[in-house]
Chain A
Amino acid sequence: MTQLTHTDPGGTPNRSLVHEDWDALTFKVHRSAYRSPAVFQKEMSRIWGHTWLYLGHETEIPNPGDFKSRTLGGRPLIFCRDSSGKVQVFFNACTHRGTILCRHSEGNTKFFQCFYHAWAFSNSGELAALPGDEAYADVPGFKERHRLRSVPRVDSHEGFVFISFDPRVPDLLTHLGEAAHYMSLTAKIGPQGMQTVPGVQLYSVKGNWKLAVENAMDGYHFAPTHNTFVGYLRETGFAVTDDDQYAYDLGDGHGLLILTGHNGRIGMVWEPRFGEAEKERTAAKRQEMEERLGKELATEVADASRILFVFPNLLLFDLEALTIRQIEPVEAGRTDVRAWQFVETGEPDEVRALRIKTMVSFVGPGGLATPDDIEAYEAVQRGIEATAGSADPAYDWSDMSRGMANEKQGNQGRSIDEGAMRSFWRQWSRRVEGAPALDTALDTALDTAPGA
């Protein structure tokens, strides 16, 4: 691919914001990709409108009638388990005149009743009752036409529930591709399965959503950004290494870092801060895993830490302990983040406590590490204003070429290079800048939305 001349890519929508040159070994992203409301609008339509999105985990709603209300891609949704036990995902808008139907963030109910005119919907979506229905012609037909609207596609893999607002997306497993395998590995850690627990970290960062993705796929920042965290681990008796850590392009924008020797893994790889009792349990658990999974699979599940990115909004951190992080873009410079602790079902209380303490001490806005990541996204978001529309347009690009020479030689990319980011950006460019193969009324609506 030869170098193209870019003068003002932000202002000319036909030119790519992602610039890759394998002769010069350069990979650049134009900074308007993080700043521009027009780009953001396009992302919401071309990505969020047309691909599988991570919604939540089945264990968040374990019992019939359990529900969570959650906004995804800017759309308020109800994520619930109906009375028959089936997972349902509805648009959280009354079919009468559009009122938010469920105004609670979570709970358990057989019926969702709209407060406005008191229409009541069953938790499987039927319009069960509407006051004064004699004023409508053909009441059964009217009720049927005013069922609660389900999102077009809902499917799950290993308990991770995904939805799509476009009915024509390929099957979930096709979308997940190789990422499905790594989700399965994580799901196999606990002999009784894995689950979320309450205590969800809800926070918001003043940075573009793609900065959060880049940061998670970026091993290069770990040593300098997390200097104090690395220092803390050293004091507990554990030396972090960046050796033997690799980045994998799983296709379709999904990415994976496999980190060996980066940290302990509760129940699988012991490190001193977990304590002596955990050392013995780790040996016993490894035995259990080998019996249950076979030695080879047990090794693959247990030995290395993994950070998995499932395009576009799921990060699965399988490290010291586990966190599911969901990214919800709000505007070009703002991203809401939701993070769940993901734990082994039925594990001993003291292990659960250790797991939560350990994970919270690292990730989340109050951890010893994540605040510095947030500082990074926010500092980038502020910094890229400096070069917007600058006299020399070459200033307004960010560089992601680290490791390209190594990659060109056919070597596996290291986690401390930028290959995982490059695969993300390639997919981003295909979705956002490529031909809109799946254009629908939804895009037109999004593209022309007032105030967009």
Chain B
Amino acid sequence: MGRRTVTRAEAEDFLYREALLLDEWRLDEWLTLFEEGGRMEVTTTDWNGWDSSSAGAFMCDDYGLLKARVKRLKSRKAHAENPHSRTHRMISNVIILEQGDETAWVAANFIIHRYRDNQEFTYVGRYEHVLLVDDEGLRFRLRRSIPTMETMAPGARLSFIL
């Protein structure tokens, strides 16, 4: 595999494409952005840097749960997302924080507007992902969303992928 340098442009392309897949609810394609065994976390709003295995979280999916989540969200019986929310993601402030032999640690800011039932919800936060870097491109080893809000606003549940 060997070490290669990830540019900010490459990380941006990856994150923008992910946002597109999520906004279009192309969840099977989205799942392929994870390496086998990849994980996803959404921290609580009181998060203080602690490890997800020792503290509560909003989401803490291993690969099995991630697959189950995608399957659920594709079902008409995922009532919270039937009909699907409309989401509109803006990603910016992309930074390669650190790069190792196999992985890159990438941070970005996000604003996600979600619309459903004639209501609007705004989710603001930061991503801190660990991406596997290989010749094929980038994939999530750990996809982590860190909400900036102090609490989830009324109606602002996390029934979709943050």
Contact = CB atoms under 8 A, between A and B. Distances in A.
B9 interface: no
B158 interface: yes
A198 B48 contact: yes
Interface in A359-380: 360-361, 364-368, 371-372, 374-376, 378
Contacts of A376: 79
Nearest to B40: A366
A65 to B, nearest CB: 18
Interface of A: 105-106, 197-206, 225, 227-229, 231-232, 235-236, 273, 330, 334, 336, 339-341, 349, 352-353, 356-357, 360-361, 364-368, 371-372, 374-376, 378, 382
4 smallest A-B Cβ distances: which pairs?
Answer: A199-B56, A199-B55, A353-B53, A366-B158
A291 B59 CA distance: 36
Contacts of A353: 53-54
Contact of B154 (A198, A206, A382): A206
Given A225-B79, A357-B53, 13 more contacts: A199-B43, A199-B44, A202-B152, A203-B157, A205-B155, A228-B78, A356-B52, A357-B61, A365-B156, A365-B159, A366-B162, A368-B68, A375-B79
Interface in B56-105: 56-62, 64-65, 68-69, 71-72, 75, 77-81
Interface of B: 42-48, 50, 52-62, 64-65, 68-69, 71-72, 75, 77-81, 117, 119, 150-159, 162
A361 B61 contact: yes
Contact of A360 (B47, B54, B59, B81): B59
A203 B44 CA distance: 10
15 contacts: A198-B48, A199-B44, A199-B55, A202-B150, A204-B156, A225-B79, A235-B68, A330-B154, A356-B53, A360-B59, A360-B60, A366-B42, A366-B57, A368-B65, A375-B80
A352 B156 contact: no
A199 B154 contact: no
Given A203-B151, A228-B77, A375-B80, A198 B156 contact: no
A361 B55 CA distance: 14
Given A204-B154, A232-B68, A235-B68, A352 B54 contact: yes
Contact of A198 (B55, B61, B75, B150): B55
Where chain B touches its partner, the secondary structure class is loop
Given A205-B154, A365-B152, A360 B56 contact: yes
A365 B149 CA distance: 15
Contacts of B81: 371
B155 A378 contact: yes
Contacts of B119: 206
B157 A232 contact: no
Nearest to B81: A371
Contacts of B159: 365-366, 371, 374-375
A225 B53 CA distance: 29
Contacts of B69: 368
Contacts of B72: 228-229, 231-232, 368
Contact of A364 (B48, B58, B151): B58
Given A225-B79, A357-B62, A357-B65, A202 B151 contact: yes
B151 A204 contact: yes
Question: Most chain-B Cβ atoms within 10 A of its Cβ — which of A206, A357, A367?
Answer: A357
A206 B62 CA distance: 30
Contacts of A356: 52-57, 60
Contact of A365 (B46, B53, B68, B158): B158
B50 A198 contact: yes
A371 B155 CA distance: 10
B78 A372 contact: yes
A349 B157 contact: no
A204 B153 contact: yes
Contacts of B46: 105-106, 198-200, 202
